[in-house]
Amino acid sequence: MEAQEDRGRHLRQREGGLLKQGFAEEALPHLDAVYRFALRLCGGRADRAEDVAQETFLRAYRAWESYRPGTSCRSWLFTICRNVFLRQKEQRSRRPEYAALDVDADAEALAATAIFDALQAQIPETAFFDSFVDQEVLDALDRLPDDFREPVTLSDLEGLSYGEIAQILGVPVGTVKSRIFRGRRLLRQALCDYAVEMGYLAKRVSND
């Protein structure tokens, strides 16, 4: 009987060790990516982002047995990160949340699927954003409403696919495409306004 208990204890310790090893190998390499995502979710507030990232990895460790090997660990962590952020935001309740988009999700998805690729090809977003330094773009990104900041961050900063983003945000792929497109347009407008304010845009126009 005592020998059986010893073997059971040994197996549990071994399983726990393998669990910790798997978490260290699979999850910890994404620590920087999770913090970057948390930083954007928190509007550039490093103190809040650190809390969100720390809580994310604590929850991920506790729930590691639910992670399915072979799937995207980064997407799994981003989903946890977003849930932690939303929970902490609700708890603070220090400022009103952004109003939900008054658009039917199905209609938005259909419209986005029909026009996204064509419109996207007509707008040189990458060349435009590359003309600004990283911090200017990040500052403008931080000022976007959550509905647009989240998908643009996941797409343009973290390189996730539309399908992965849809899974993290819990919305249809068409909605993801629409929000990324509209978010980039808002970001572009914000940077244009900044360029005019700083005199950059006027200078470029005068040189043409």
Please report how many Cα atoms fall inside a 13 Å half-sphere around the Cα of residue 50, on the Cβ side. Answer: 3
Question: Check: CATH 1.10.10.10 for 105-207?
Answer: yes
DSSP per-residue letters across 111-158: HHHHHHHHHHHHS-HHHHHHTS-HHHHHHHHHTS-HHHHHHHIIIIIT
Highest mean pLDDT among 101-110, 155-164, 185-194: 155-164
Closest listed residue to residue 177, CA positions, set 188, 190, 163, 167: 163
Domains 2-92 and 105-207 in one fold: no
Stated pTM of the model: 0.62
Q: What gap in Å lies between CA 202 and CA 195, rounded to an integer?
A: 8
What's the pLDDT at 12? 46
What's the pLDDT at 94? 61
What rounded mean pLDDT belongs to the chain?
75
Give me the CATH code for the 2-92 domain, please.
Answer: 1.10.1740.10
pLDDT (tens digit per residue) in 99-138: 444 444 444 444 444 444 443 444 445 444 444 446 777 8
- Give whole-number Cα distances, 11 to 4, 6, 66, 93, in Å: 11, 9, 19, 46
Are residues 189 and 141 in contact, defined by beta-carbon separation less than 8 angstroms? no
pLDDT (tens digit per residue) in 80-89: 999 999 999 8
- Give whole-number Cα distances, 12 to 3, 60, 84, 90, in Å: 14, 20, 30, 38
Show me where the domains of the chain are located: 2-92, 105-207
pLDDT (tens digit per residue) in 18-60: 456 788 889 989 999 999 999 999 988 888 898 899 999 999 9
What's the pLDDT at 114? 43
